[in-house]
Amino acid sequence: MKFILLLTMLLSSFSIAFAAPKTYSAKEKMVQNSQSWSDFQKAMDSLRGEDDRRGTSFIISGTLVTIGSLIAIPTTEDAATKLVYGIASSAGIAAITYGISNIYYGHSYNSFYETLKNSELSDSQKSSLVKTFMAHEHERLERMRRMQMWAHFFAAAMNGYSASTEKDTNAKTFFAALAGLNLALGLSFSF
């Protein structure tokens, strides 16, 4: 019984982590590369559909994780195992909340889209605003990418320093693993 519960929670977690990130990213890029109102409208309609699909996926996965962990908690006497199940149920609730947010609020571009869509501007004026907004958005996204890259590099350096000064072998290994993970994440943001 415990094995089935753990397997269900693990599979649900994977479906949360891999809820079609390439599809979503590609649709998000279509929005960001829009140069006209017509392109922006088409891309936003596609992204909104993906927000609904993705939100539903998070809600289902989060529900499975939450239910599985709540069923599993009373089946063990081990405090560490109960803690893991408790953390899993919290992650499940967070996934449900994130899914609901995806469905009802969608991407941060929705507000801009709805504002333009409901305005009395001409299509030409809307296209001009889309082009200007996306130029600023590209700059903002590039600054965020660099900030995330440097944050991971600094975390890698701090964890590497902690690993080099730590006496306890287990803690040293833990800090070294964190340093390696942060270094890899920093490198992923550098491309």
Q: What is the pLDDT of residues 83-110, one digit of tens each?
A: 888 888 999 999 999 999 999 998 889 9
Q: What is the pLDDT of residue 122?
A: 96
pLDDT at 141 over 80: yes
Range 131-140 contact pairs with CB under 8 angstroms and sequence separation of 24 or more: 131/35, 131/36, 134/32, 134/33, 134/34, 134/35, 137/32, 138/32
> Phi and psi (nearest 5°) for 66?
-65, -50
Whole-number Å distance between alpha carbons of 11 and 30: 30
Whole-model pTM? 0.63
Q: What is the pLDDT of residues 143-185, one digit of tens each?
A: 999 999 999 999 999 999 999 999 988 888 989 999 999 999 8
Q: What is the pLDDT of residue 11?
A: 53
Q: What is the pLDDT of residues 29-86, one digit of tens each?
A: 899 999 999 999 999 999 998 899 999 999 999 999 999 999 998 998 988 888 888 8
More confident residue, 101 or 12: 101
Provide the token pair at 173: 């290994």
**Sequence ranges of the domains in the chain:** 1-118, 123-191
